[in-house]
Every structure is written in structure tokens, then in C-alpha cells.
């Protein structure tokens, strides 16, 4: 990965430090970590009368935290005597979901160790809560495994690569996201047949991408950080040069994403009625019709959702009419939550707009963390949308939230210019390139709300392998624990404790 690293170093290390406000304390005086690393709990209160500590002082404060929580502490995965039965944690996560879909969720989790990892966020949350914490919080994604990075279109119709799922977003330690990414890479690449050294190398590249990107962002202005995006094209991913194989992967994925739009989706999942209008084509249990009462509740919910959009976007939405609503099963971990898709038509019956209306439930990490600041903690749908707007470099212009029959939901466009990068199926330099890129994207997301300078200070320059080695050790240990939990899960199915339905998508 010298090609990638050299490019990042050249782009980052030579950046001049921006001018900073006059120090509030003498230069010889190192500020206390609890003063420099301000918690996020005070947001969204704004105080424009007091400046922030210079970035290099905050970096030194982050570096000082290494004495309290050394990098090596992150290597160990502790065996706790009071660790709950993982199947019990998964069963608890089923509470409140639609009972008839839980066997489908179980079936999807049972297909592979990585599918199990995706659905077992509550299990990893417990394990992470028992590990060391750096003491630096960010608005964290909460579920940053490799399938939650992907391609999507901007309002300007560019295709960008970024985080793309925010159901678990909350405030917590930055390293919890990085560890979930590391574990996901280890499990997914092992499942795809990569040798152990390739699995470990990919994890270390992801951590390196995080370290080096955070170091590059630390001295930059906040506005500069917020402006940065990663446009996917055939030559580069942001600042990362790609080899021919990686370029070909991106080209194919971008071309496929461009073919996914509201018009193409209309032909895939809808059909003409006898009166000439459109309706969803039933494909049970994945896509099923709803009764009239549910349809009316969802339309009312969408009318309230419109009130959460910026006023100028309400004009655009007001030119559409809901013509059909269906229930749609999505994902692995989300199966069983209430998720609907609404078809709206505007200027003509070919002017289609698909909106996903998805139930927002309490995030898996919530029992172990203080949670989001008010007022975003009061409505789970608002929490998801607020988190997405904070973490994504470019967001869906139709993001919003609502309540339906007393339950919180969020709303977004469905599959418009969206695509995936098959990281787990890669090998060699391409695997390392995209692992590095995902670590870099995660760092940029965290830098938008967290203290990039403090995190960079804690992570180090990346020249020493301490953090990379530690997280690779942890990911390898967690992959073994995940495999053991997966077997317990399958045993619970075999014994009849859990029911698994046939998945028509397999």
C-alpha cells in the first residue's frame, strides 16, 4: 500500500497549519484533557463568544491520553464471566418487532458468520462496552461494518462513496466504530476465502486509513472538513489513487448505480393497474400490500414528515401525490421493524418518486452510552436523520422524520443512484485500497463532529504500528468469538429455540 500511503502523506503532511486563536493558557502549560476534549452533550447550544483551544494543544491532550489507555490495551478481547448468552441478547432485540418476520431475520442471520455479525449489533455492543475507552466521543455511526459503506447520488448527480446506514447512530467512542469496521473486514474476508495474512493486512490498512486521514484533517478548518466529499471515478477515491483492478471495480459499481433511479425502479417493483395507474407488484414476504387504514396512516405520516424538510423542499414535495404504499422487508438487522415504501407521482405517471418510510428503534449501543443530546434523543427518527446529516458528506435532500401510530419513523429516497462495492470479494492491492478508503471515510465522518486533533493525537502518526497491530489482534479475536456465537445461534435454531423461515431472496 505504499502507493496509497505516499499519496496520503504527500497530500496531508505538507499542509501548513492554519492560523489559530491566541492561546487561553501559556504555551508551556498543557491543558487538561477534560478541558480540551469537550463533550458533545452540550450541543446544539452555540457560544460564539469563546474560541477553542489551538488544534496542536488539543492534539497533545489526545496524545497524553495514551498514557492512561495505551494502544496495546485495545488488543485484548476480555473474557467476561458475566457475559450474557448471545442468543438471549438477540432475542431481546426482537422485542417490539413484527413477530411474523422474526423467523426471516433469524434465517438471514444464519446464512454466514458475516450475516450474523450484521444482525448481532447488540452482542458486539455489550462486548465493546466492557473494553477500554479512549475518552474521546464523536457522533458515531454505531454499525460501521463494510456493507454500510456504499455509493449514492448527490443532488448534482455525482456518485460518491460514503457511509450509508445510520439506524444505530449515537454519541460514543470513535474506536467502537473503528473496531466494528475492523471486525467486519476480518470476518467477511475470511468468509470469502482470503488467507489470514490478507485478512490481517486489510484490517491494518483500514486502521492506517483512519489514522492518516485524521492526522491530515486535524489542522484543517472545520468548514474545509465539512466541504470534503469522495467522488467515485475511474482513477481516484478522493485522495487515494487506485490500481487498474480497483478502478474497474469502481467503474462497474458506478455504472450500475447510475442505472438505479426512480424510473428504473418503477418498472422493477410496480405494475400498471387496469385503470392505467401504478401499484406495487406483491412479492411476499418481501413486498406486501397494506390495508387501507395503514395506508392512510402512512400518508398522514408523510404529510407530517414534510414539515421536517427545509421549506423550499416542501414546494417540490407538494407537487407529488401518493399513489400506492407497501410494506417492504429490508436488510438483515432491520428485518422485523416496520418498513414501508411509498410510490408518489408528480408531473406525469412517469414522474415517479419512491420514499422509504422506516421505523427507527433504540440503537444497540444505547444501554452503554449517554445517548444523543436533546432534542434529538426524544424521537428515534430524528436521531437517525440528525446523525446522517452530521456524518455524511453529502446527504439525501429528502431526509426527514415522522411518527405513525405512535411509532417513530424516518424517511429517505429509496435506491436512487445507490450501489455497493464488493470489498469482501477482493484480493491483493484492491482489497487493501478499499479497506484503507473505508477507514479514511470513517475518520472524515468522525472529524465532522468530534475533535480531529485530539483523536489524531491519540491515534498517532501511523508511522508506528501500535494501534494497527492492536486492532488487528482484537479483530482476529473477535472473529473467533463471532464464529462461536454464530454456532450457538445455529444450535438454537436446530434445537427449536429459534425459528428460521425460508428466505425467498436466497
Do residues 154 and 185 touch, judged by C-beta distance below 8 A? no
Give CA–CA dist 63/31, Å, rounded. 12
Among 21-25, 233-237, 301-305, 369-373, which stretch is predicted with the lowest mean pLDDT? 21-25
Segment 335-364 shows an average pLDDT of: 95
Answer yes or no: is pLDDT of 271 > 50.
yes
Cell of 93: 432485540
Q: How does residue 52 score in pLDDT terms, banded at 50, 70 and 90? A: confident
Answer yes or no: is pLDDT of 23 > 60.
no
Output the CA–CA distances (angstroms, integers) from residue 319 to 162, 220, 341, in the order listed. Answer: 30, 41, 18
Q: How does residue 384 score in pLDDT terms, banded at 50, 70 and 90? A: very high
pTM (two decimals): 0.91
How many other C-beta atoms can be found within 10 angstroms of the C-beta atom of residue 232? 23
Among 328-342, 398-412, 415-429, which stretch is predicted with the lowest mean pLDDT? 415-429
Q: How does residue 34 score in pLDDT terms, banded at 50, 70 and 90? A: low
Give CA–CA dist 428/435, Å, rounded. 11
Torsion over CA: 275, 280, 284, 290 (sign): negative
What's the maximum distance between 2 C-alpha atoms anywhere in the chain? 80
Output the CA–CA distances (angstroms, integers) from residue 335 to 282, 315, 327, 357, in the order listed. Answer: 18, 33, 11, 14
- Helix then strand then coil, in percent of the chain rounded to 5, is 45, 15, 40
State the number of CA atoms in the 13 A half-sphere of 115 facing the CB. 16
* Residue 383 confidence (pLDDT): 96
Q: How does residue 43 score in pLDDT terms, banded at 50, 70 and 90? A: low
Answer yes or no: is pLDDT of 11 > 60.
no
Give CA–CA dist 74/354, Å, rounded. 43
Amino acid at each position: 500500500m505504499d502507493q496509497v500511503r505516499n499519496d496520503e502523506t504527500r497530500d496531508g503532511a505538507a499542509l501548513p497549519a492554519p492560523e489559530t486563536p491566541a492561546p487561553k493558557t501559556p504555551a508551556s502549560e498543557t491543558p487538561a484533557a477534560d478541558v480540551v476534549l469537550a463533550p458533545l452533550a452540550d450541543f446544539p447550544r452555540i457560544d460564539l463568544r469563546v474560541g477553542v483551544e489551538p488544534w496542536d494543544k488539543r492534539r497533545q491532550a489526545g496524545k497524553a491520553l495514551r498514557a492512561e489507555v495505551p494502544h496495546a490495551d485495545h488488543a485484548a478481547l476480555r473474557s467476561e464471566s458475566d457475559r450474557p448468552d448471545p442468543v438471549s441478547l438477540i432475542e431481546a432485540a426482537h422485542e417490539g418487532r413484527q413477530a411474523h418476520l422474526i423467523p426471516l431475520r433469524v434465517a438471514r442471520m444464519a446464512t454466514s458468520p458475516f450475516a450474523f455479525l450484521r444482525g448481532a449489533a447488540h452482542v458486539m455492543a455489550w462486548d465493546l462496552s466492557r473494553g477500554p475507552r479512549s475518552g474521546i466521543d464523536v457522533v458515531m455511526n454505531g454499525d460501521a461494518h463494510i456493507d454500510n459503506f456504499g455509493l449514492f447520488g448527490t443532488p448534482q448527480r455525482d456518485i460518491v462513496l460514503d457511509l450509508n446506514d445510520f439506524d444505530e447512530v449515537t454519541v460514543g467512542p470513535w474506536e467502537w466504530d473503528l473496531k466494528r469496521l475492523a471486525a467486519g473486514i476480518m470476518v467477511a474476508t475470511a468468509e470469502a476465502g482470503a488467507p489470514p495474512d490478507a485478512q490481517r493486512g486489510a484490517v491494518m490498512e483500514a486502521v492506517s486509513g483512519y489514522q492518516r486521514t485524521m492526522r491530515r484533517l486535524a489542522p484543517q478548518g472545520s468548514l474545509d472538513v465539512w466541504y470534503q466529499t469522495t467522488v467515485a471515478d475511474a482513477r481516484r477515491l478522493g485522495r487515494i489513487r487506485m490500481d487498474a483492478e480497483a478502478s474497474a471495480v469502481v467503474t462497474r459499481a458506478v455504472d450500475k448505480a447510475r442505472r438505479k433511479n426512480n424510473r428504473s425502479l418503477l418498472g422493477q417493483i410496480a405494475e400498471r393497474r387496469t385503470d392505467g395507474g401504478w401499484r406495487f407488484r406483491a412479492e411476499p414476504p418481501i413486498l406486501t400490500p397494506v390495508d387501507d387504514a395503514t395506508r392512510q396512516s402512512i400518508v398522514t405520516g408523510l404529510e407530517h414528515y414534510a414539515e421536517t424538510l427545509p421549506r423550499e423542499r416542501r414546494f417540490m414535495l407538494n407537487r407529488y401525490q401518493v399513489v400506492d404504499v407497501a410494506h417492504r422487508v429490508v436488510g438483515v438487522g432491520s428485518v422485523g421493524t416496520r418498513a414501508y415504501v411509498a410510490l408518489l407521482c408528480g408531473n406525469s405517471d412517469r414522474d415517479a418518486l419512491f420514499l422509504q418510510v422506516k421505523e427507527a428503534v433504540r440503537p444497540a449501543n444505547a444501554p452503554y452510552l449517554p445517548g444523543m443530546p436533546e432534542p434529538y434523543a426524544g424521537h428515534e427518527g430524528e436521531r437517525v436523520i440528525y446523525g446522517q446529516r452530521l456524518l455524511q458528506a453529502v446527504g439525501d435532500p429528502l431526509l426527514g422524520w415522522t411518527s405513525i401510530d405512535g411509532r417513530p419513523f424516518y424517511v429517505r429516497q429509496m435506491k436512487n443512484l445507490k450501489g455497493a462495492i464488493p470489498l469482501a470479494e477482493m484480493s491483493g492491492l484492491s482489497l487493501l485500497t478499499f479497506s484503507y478508503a473505508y477507514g479514511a471515510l470513517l475518520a472524515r465522518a468522525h472529524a465532522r463532529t468530534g475533535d480531529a486533533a485530539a483523536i489524531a493525537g491519540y491515534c498517532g502518526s501511523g508511522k508506528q504500528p501500535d494501534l494497527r497491530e492492536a486492532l488487528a489482534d482484537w479483530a482476529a479475536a473477535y472473529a473467533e468469538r463471532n464464529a462461536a456465537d454464530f454456532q450457538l445461534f445455529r444450535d438454537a435454531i436446530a434445537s427449536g429455540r429459534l425459528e428460521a423461515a425460508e428466505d425467498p431472496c436466497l
